[in-house]
Structure 1
Amino acid sequence: MKPRFLVFAIACVTLLIATEATVAQQERKATSQCQAVAQSIPHATYANFSGTTSVIDATATEETVALTYIGHSTFLIETPGGVTIATDYSGWYTPPRLPMVVTMNRAHSSHYTLTPDSSIQHVLHGWSDVPGEKAKIDLVVGDTYIRNVTTDIRGDFGAPQTDGNSIFIFEVAGLCIGHLGHLHYELTPSHYAEIGRLDVVMVPVDGGLTMGADSMSRVIKRLRASLILPMHQPRPLQSFLSMFGPDFDISYAPTNTITVSLRTLPKKPLIYVAKGMQ
């Protein structure tokens, strides 16, 4: 009787340890590395951009992430594990193939749709339909961890609408990639703390529909991302670019697709304008 009890007890302990290990592993997967204190990035040149006039080291063998500018505020993100994500998806600007994940913001109809294709596996709203609640995205899809940081927007007659926009952050292949959505106000210290490190940031440029060039440039300078990808409206682009001095490089892409890895991030911040934003 006692040996059987001992065997049963050992089996229970073993099962408990295995269960705790599995839970701990799942929790680790959903832990943001971008909110941790940024460590030194390996020596690198500029990020590796696709196209015939690549200005970067093309010999990198580590995993890369591709970002394709589709139009307006929609980028298609393709990860090494095959996850495809469309940002600010409205159905107006459609990727060449149906994405697995779409993110949306409700500031304007060009940034969301309530009738997405039913084959899309994950439809992530940057707003909450429950009054007084924030949208909370905390999702692992394949090799990508997706989370959000909510910000206020201007509602009817210019009145602030609490938490109507989400900054979506995609953590993949060691990179911290942020999409600012339809950002209407400059970020607070608590926002910056929630965001953490960003290596790549997609920033709306429009001269005032979101924020003016001066305000938006202050946000970008504070975020200190290595790679800045303008989006939204090409017309005010030059006004936005004029806000940055010699501490930033500016370059124009020959195509609308950009590939980047952790090692090939620019040492000096680079504003890289996709073909569709020129």
Structure 2
Amino acid sequence: MLRIAPVVLGLLGCPISLAAAQDAPRGSECLAMAQQPPRVTPVSLRAAAAKDDNVTITYAGHSTYYIDTPGGVRIATDFSGAYTTGRLPDVVTMNRAHSTHYSLFPDARIPHVFHGWNDDGSPARIFERIGDVLIRNVTTDIRRYFMDDSSGEMIKDGNSIFVFEVAGLCIGHLGHLHHKLDDSHFAAIGRLDIVMVPIDGTYTMSLDGVSEITRRLRASVVLPMHRFATPLDEFMSRIGQQFEIEERAERSLTISKETLPQAPTVIILRGV
């Protein structure tokens, strides 16, 4: 006897399978939250509410942070394979600025590999829910200088900013950013609670340029990366006095939506 899977009507009345409808990723909460004013939670309630929603972020080196979600998904950003810590990641994201930000031959045991570019020159389009995290990207341009071409011209959509939505947190990684962002970029990024920012001041953007972006994003936590020899006070003097600074002796930060700092804070993890 022929079995027919139950169907539901999708957009425009087109039938889709019930299984496909159930598996379809939910929409971005961070884009929705961008339209709302920031929510302030009293300190007395913050500690009580932070139970199983902790996300751990660990600095491995260069532009690679590891994000461990409450559901056990492990993500590595700008993954080249050179900067590792703990168990193998389940998800890696890459930018192709140069070989310290990607690998064409990642460990075959990594189930999910996301490039921030398409080889055919079209924009990469990533919107995937893996376990308890939604991963999406916003494309940016890249200078040809980093593609063995000294012309300095820009390749449109050659890189990506990645956004990770998990446990009510909106976490952004700016990647190897080469230019200022316009309103369309900020709209596509949405609201960020935590942002990872390159502060080398030369290979990516000037300190003035990246500081302007950092201020506009208004994330509660700023995690510097791609630092090289940049003095921290030089970066801090540019992003403004509204940001506090914390230097940690640990490489890891454990945080939840309810334990975000009330004042915007730059957190310097060990090794940055």
TM-score grouping bracket, smaller chain normalisation? 0.7 to 0.9
Residue aligning to 1:169: 163
Structure 2: segments with no counterpart, 5+ residues: 10-15
The structure with more radius of gyration: 1
Q: Given that residues 86 and 95 in structure 1 are in contact (C-alpha distance below 8 angstroms), is that contact kept between their aligned partners in structure 2? A: no
Q: Give the Å deviation of 1:268.
A: 1.2
TM-score, structure 1 length as denominator?
Answer: 0.85
Residue aligning to 1:7: none
Residue aligning to 1:3: none
1:27-176 alignment to 2 at 5 Å?
Answer: 27=24, 29-36=25-32, 37-38=35-36, 40-43=38-41, 60-131=50-121, 133-155=122-144, 156=149, 157-176=151-170
TM-score, structure 2 length as denominator?
Answer: 0.87
Q: Provide Cα deviations, 1:108-152, integer angstroms capped at 9, x if missing partner.
A: 111001011000001110111113x10111111100110000000
Counterpart of 2:209, as a letter, is S
Aligned-partner SS, 1:183: coil
Q: Given that residues 248 and 268 in structure 2 are in contact (C-alpha distance below 8 angstroms), is that contact kept between their aligned partners in structure 1? A: yes
Residue aligning to 1:235: 229
Q: Provide Cα deviations, 1:232-259, integer angstroms capped at 9, x if missing partner.
A: 1241142212213321111101201001
Residues in 2 aligned to 1:166 and 1:185: alpha-carbon distance in whole angstroms: 12
Q: Given that residues 163 and 172 in structure 2 are in contact (C-alpha distance below 8 angstroms), is that contact kept between their aligned partners in structure 1? A: yes
Aligned-partner SS, 1:211: coil
Q: Given that residues 178 and 200 in structure 1 are in contact (C-alpha distance below 8 angstroms), is that contact kept between their aligned partners in structure 2? A: yes
Aligned-partner SS, 1:243: helix
CA RMSD across the alignment:
2.2
Aligned-partner SS, 1:215: helix
Residues in 1 aligned to 2:251 and 2:68: alpha-carbon distance in whole angstroms: 13
Aligned-partner SS, 1:111: coil
Residues in 2 aligned to 1:106 and 1:178: alpha-carbon distance in whole angstroms: 18
Q: Give the Å deviation of 1:15.
A: 3.1
Q: Give the Å deviation of 1:95.
A: 2.3
Residues in 2 aligned to 1:237 and 1:215: alpha-carbon distance in whole angstroms: 16
Counterpart of 1:197, as a letter, is R
Residues in 2 aligned to 1:78 and 1:254: alpha-carbon distance in whole angstroms: 19
Q: Give the Å deviation of 1:40.
A: 4.0
Q: Provide Cα deviations, 1:16-73, integer angstroms capped at 9, x if missing partner.
A: 359666544433x33111111235434155xxxxxxxxxx959832411000000000
Residues in 1 aligned to 2:216 and 2:84: alpha-carbon distance in whole angstroms: 32
Residues in 1 aligned to 2:49 and 2:21: alpha-carbon distance in whole angstroms: 37
Residue aligning to 2:197: 203
Determine which structure has greater relative contact order: mean sequence separation of CA pairs < 8 Å that are 6+ residues apart, divided by chain length: 1
Residues in 2 aligned to 1:44 and 1:20: alpha-carbon distance in whole angstroms: 44
Q: Quick one: percent identity of the two aligned structures?
A: 50
Q: Given that residues 206 and 237 in structure 1 are in contact (C-alpha distance below 8 angstroms), is that contact kept between their aligned partners in structure 2? A: no
Which moved further from structure 2: 134-143 or 17-26? Answer: 17-26
Residue aligning to 2:271: 276
Residues in 1 aligned to 2:206 and 2:48: alpha-carbon distance in whole angstroms: 36
Counterpart of 1:233, as a letter, is R
Counterpart of 1:26, as a letter, is D
The alpha-carbon distance between structure 1 residues 142 and 219, as it changes in their structure 2 partners (threshold 3 A), is same
Q: Give the Å deviation of 1:224.
A: 0.8
Residue aligning to 2:218: 224
- Equivalent residues, number: 254
Q: Given that residues 6 and 18 in structure 2 are in contact (C-alpha distance below 8 angstroms), is that contact kept between their aligned partners in structure 1? A: no
Counterpart of 1:153, as a letter, is I
Q: Provide Cα deviations, 1:131-184, integer angstroms capped at 9, x if missing partner.
A: 3x1011111110011000000011132111111110000000011100000001
